[in-house]
Amino acid sequence: MKHLGLCAIPLLLAGQPAMAASGSTDGNAALALAALVAQNAPNTLVSSAHKALLAQYLAGHSNAPHPTGTTIHFTTSALVCAAGNVDITHHRCTLALGSTHPTLTGRQAHELYATFAEAGVASDGAAGTLFESVTHLTCTIKADDVKANGGGGAHCDYTQ
């Protein structure tokens, strides 16, 4: 009887839903992730001036002009990217950015998918497709810290 109880514990644990894992990234990966997501966001989520500044940073211009004290902060609902491991030309991302849900394909989708991997987002696969997805992505970019070239100024948190 004692052995039956011990055998039941793993079965009970296996039936429990998986807990969402939290993750974060800093520096280069956070800056790239913020810039790639922001370029597709509506202006109500990320202003056009902030999108332009993030694009300059992604292009390697850490000294891009900005008002002192500029902080770029935004939160998204969900981002899901897929890449084919059978149809290796398949790259697609769907972004939930406020009231808009843009879909990226091809090179843009691959760039975001690869940046997820760089940021530490775990990959999952099924039926010939690899997925990387996050919910509640929150990024904060402090322009003065980026300009200082000390490796700081960019941070993103997410849930997997």
Residue 122 burial (CB count, 10 A): 13
Token pair belonging to 93? 């991302």
For residue 23, being part of any structural domain is answered with no
Residues in the chain: 160
Mean pLDDT of 18-23: 74
For residue 139, being part of any structural domain is answered with yes
For residue 124, being part of any structural domain is answered with yes
Cβ contacts of 64-68, under 8 Å, gap ≥ 24: 64/147, 66/143, 66/147, 68/144
pLDDT bucket at 14, cuts 50 / 70 / 90:
very low
In tens, the pLDDT along 94-127 reads 999 988 999 999 999 999 999 999 999 999 987 8
Q: What share of the chain is helix, strand, coil (3-state, %, to 5)?
A: 35, 30, 35
For residue 46, being part of any structural domain is answered with yes
For residue 1, being part of any structural domain is answered with no
Say what the pLDDT of residue 16 is: 39
For residue 70, being part of any structural domain is answered with yes
For residue 74, being part of any structural domain is answered with yes
- The region, left, alpha or beta by phi > 0 then psi within -120 to 50, assigned to residue 136 is left
Number of domains in the chain: 1
For residue 76, being part of any structural domain is answered with yes
Tell me which residue range forms the domain holding 105.
37-159
